[in-house]
Amino acid sequence: MSENKKARLDDAEVVNIVYRNTENGYVIARVNSKNEPGMITITGILGDVQAGESLTLNGKWKVHPKYGPQFEVETFEQSLPATENGVIKFLQSSIKGVGEKTATLLVNEYGVGVLDILDDDPEQLLEIRGISKRKLKDIIESWGKQRAVKDLLVFLQTHGVPTTFAGKIFHLYGAQAERKLRDNPYDLAYEIRGVGFRTADQMALKLGFAHDSWQRIEAAMVYTLFTLSERGGHMFVPKEKLLHEVGRMLENVDAERLEEAIFSLQEKQRIRVEDLPEQDVEQAVFLMHFYHHENEISQRLYQLVSHPTPVSREKVGKALPAVEKVLGFSLSDEQRDAVFEACSNKAFIITGGPGTGKTTITKAIVLTLKELGLKIKLAAPTGRAAKRLSEATGLGAQTIHRLLQYQPDGGFQFCQDQKLKADVLVIDEASMVDAHLCVSVLRALPHTCRLILVGDINQLPSVGPGNVLADLINSEMVPCARLTHIFRQAQESYIVVNAHRINKGEFPLGHPQEAPQADFFWIPQEDQTTVQKLILDSVCDRIPNRYGLDPLRDIQVLTPMHKGDVGTGALNKALQERLNPLRNRQEIRRSFCSFRVGDRVLQLRNNYDKDVFNGDLGRIVELDAQENELFVDFEGNYVTYESSELDDLTLAYAVSVHKSQGSEYPAVVMPIVTQHYMLLQRNLLYTGLTRARNLAVLVGSKKAFSIGLNNVTAGKRCTHLGYRLRTLFSENRLI
């Protein structure tokens, strides 16, 4: 056998299933084949394959570092078991209500032909002792599902669709899956996350759909709108741009057909087209749920603000002396004004850069409202941000998802039908809240509740679509305290000073002192290979030696992109080798990286069952290479990851600036190179720098830094929330 060369196994009888992931159909099994001596381990997407089945397998041999040769299945064909022993194994492992005893009785009575009887005349089985009409009904249903899943797998393989999605497709469509896909395979792209337009398109064209069919053009329209919203955070796309993008993607499709598709999608209420003269957009195309999000945010915010729940300024004034006593100092005039306004308004926003006292004011507001006897809830978009808010205020804080109690169906326990029991909700790092999450928060708030948003609008906006905090502030319909005064102690930090300089488009200043007194360094370097070396040396040697920081715990590399010499991929690999070399220990190899005990890792998506969330950092504390399992410590929350869950993790010696939002690290090292020019913008530089608490080291090209400083329009999001708020509030004279 030759590793990685194409191979085929004929008449491979499945002896037993070692592992099965019911979510994606991934299977590890042991088989016997006439091609190869002895037992063979096979791996791949095999769906609901069962012991006893006979398979024809196409794939390649791989040598696992611990388990030796394995056959990695790429495609397969199934035939029913040919031997009586195989049929017995198959029946007992795959048919509900049939154990070894019943399976043996069936085979003794009918031989291998029992499988044909299940297809053609299952009523015959009532002649077998112990099979009642009720039990036969269960057997028929189970057999029908078994055959349907297998037929679907064959159908998907034939038409070039990854069989990874077979389970999800069958769960969605049931026994009608093949018919539904033949009618309109583009529905896959709409209804199953992970199946994009291109996968559905490949299948549709193989099924004979025309290149200008209405199904194809409409699917391309929706796919393009989704793609632009996910990549750019847009709530709408100008019609002219949409037509250009779709026309370029489909090629040779008449413009008239594209216009017809827009009209058809409007008729089906999948999109909404609006004229936006105030934004110089002749026609804006919204996915319907984004259009509803903006309108619902406007309506619910108006309802909240217009419902009076007075707190007199006199009561606030009486509470302040006790608050200042707890704080240990007197509030400035700017801080006092912010406290009065936050307490007396139903909705209020606090925004400002580092060193302007957002944390102090937030604590003062929370203490004042608590002094007034109000029930307060604190939340933030990420676990780390919630932890910092809790530490700052002395009250418990949660992630927004946990506060609202996220449900398996994607909704929340607290919603428009079951409101939060709170008089005040304070949300920190509000710039990270996207339109969908904002809608969910507003649905859960009783009209008597106050909403206080704290955040920095100069940071990167939310990862999800929308620009909620900036839109609320720019609408001028929600009272806002814009903090500009930098306090004296903050003025001594060159991290703070240079963050404000970057925000003004000015190049950062070098610190007048040397390490370890200096908290900011700019290291100019044009060559990207040298930039990588400087980063490695800074993280692994210079910073730990001069500042006494632990490189595995205290120093975080942030970078704009994932690719290139100083992208997350290359830096993680290089830092892992320097900080956590293998040295004959176990590791789990993945296509994108390898995991070792001691590695710093990042959670890539929310997992509410495990209580870990997108952006959480942890450390691998135990590893079982044989079972492909990891055990990760997320600051006291010990989480187990099975083989099928490892794609939720990545190495985190270096993470993207976007993933760092809501976090703070003792030291940050950030490359800035021209290779990243597509993503270099002022708010990215600003966000990266402001993640550093005690030390920031920026390494790279002055030209690249200048590109970022001068780029304030890239990444601008197409939203209409601010105008909707102004219109609604003015029409109802609530200004």
Say which DSSP state 524 is in: E
Q: Point out which residues pair with 668 in neighbouring strands.
A: 556, 696
Question: What is the spatial distance between Cα 153 and Cα 715, in angstroms, rounded to a whole number?
Answer: 41
Contact 458, 432 (CB under 8 A): no
Q: pTM for the whole thing?
A: 0.78
Quick check: 238 pLDDT over 80? yes
- What average pLDDT does range 572-588 have in this prediction? 88
Distance of CA 178 to the CA centre of its chain: 30
Judging by DSSP bridges, how do beta strands 555-559 and 236-238 pair with one another? unpaired
- What average pLDDT does range 518-524 have in this prediction? 94
- Concatenated DSSP letters of 236-280: EEEHHHHHHHHHHHH-S--HHHHHHHHHHHHHTTSEEEEEEGGGT
- pLDDT tens per residue across span 465-475: 999 999 999 99
The CATH code belonging to domain 307-489 is 3.40.50.300
Q: Point out which residues pair with 54 in neighbouring strands.
A: 13, 79
- pLDDT tens per residue across span 669-691: 999 998 766 678 899 999 999 99
pLDDT of residue 2: 62
Q: Where are the domains of the chain?
A: 6-149, 162-202, 214-287, 307-489, 493-700
Quick check: 165 pLDDT over 80? no
Distance of CA 208 to the CA centre of its chain: 35
How does the average pLDDT of the chain come out, rounded?
86
Quick check: 333 pLDDT over 60? yes
| 381's tokens | 């978009």
Closest to 727 in 3D by CA, of 375, 159, 406, 298: 298
Which of 33-47, 283-297, 530-544 has the lowest average pLDDT?
A: 33-47
- What average pLDDT does range 291-298 have in this prediction? 96
Q: How many CA atoms lie within 13 A of 374 on its CB side?
A: 27
Residue type, 410: G
Kindly report the number of other CB atoms within 10 A of residue 223's CB atom. Answer: 21
Which of 152-156, 485-489, 589-593 has the lowest average pLDDT?
A: 152-156
Intrachain domains 307-489 and 493-700 with the same fold: yes
136-141, long-range: CB within 8 Å, 24+ apart, which pairs?
Answer: 138/96, 138/97, 139/95, 139/96, 139/97, 139/98, 141/96
Which of 199-203, 425-429, 566-570, 575-579 has the lowest average pLDDT?
A: 199-203
- What average pLDDT does range 216-220 have in this prediction? 91
Residues 6+ apart with CB under 8 A from 175: 144, 145, 148
CATH of region 214-287, choose from 2.60.120.620, 1.10.240.10, 3.20.20.140, 1.10.10.2220: 1.10.10.2220
- pLDDT tens per residue across span 106-118: 888 888 777 777 7
Confidence band (pLDDT; 50, 70, 90) for 44? confident
Architecture field, domain 6-149? Beta Barrel (2.40)
Question: What is the spatial distance between Cα 279 and Cα 731, in angstroms, rounded to a whole number?
Answer: 20
Contact 567, 528 (CB under 8 A): no
Closest to 653 in 3D by CA, of 601, 605, 710, 616: 601
pLDDT of residue 166: 67
- In the chain, % helix, strand, coil (3-state, to 5) comes to 45, 20, 35
pLDDT of residue 241: 94
CATH superfamily for domain 493-700: P-loop containing nucleotide triphosphate hydrolases (3.40.50.300)
Residues 6+ apart with CB under 8 A from 74: 44, 58, 59, 60
pLDDT of residue 418: 95
Closest to 333 in 3D by CA, of 322, 344, 343, 341: 341
Please count the helices (runs of H) and the strands (runs of E) in the chain.
27, 26
Largest interatomic CA distance in the chain: 94
- What average pLDDT does range 143-155 have in this prediction? 69
At 594 the three-state DSSP class reads: strand
Q: Would you say how long the chain is, in residues? A: 735
Judging by DSSP bridges, how do beta strands 600-603 and 594-595 pair with one another? unpaired
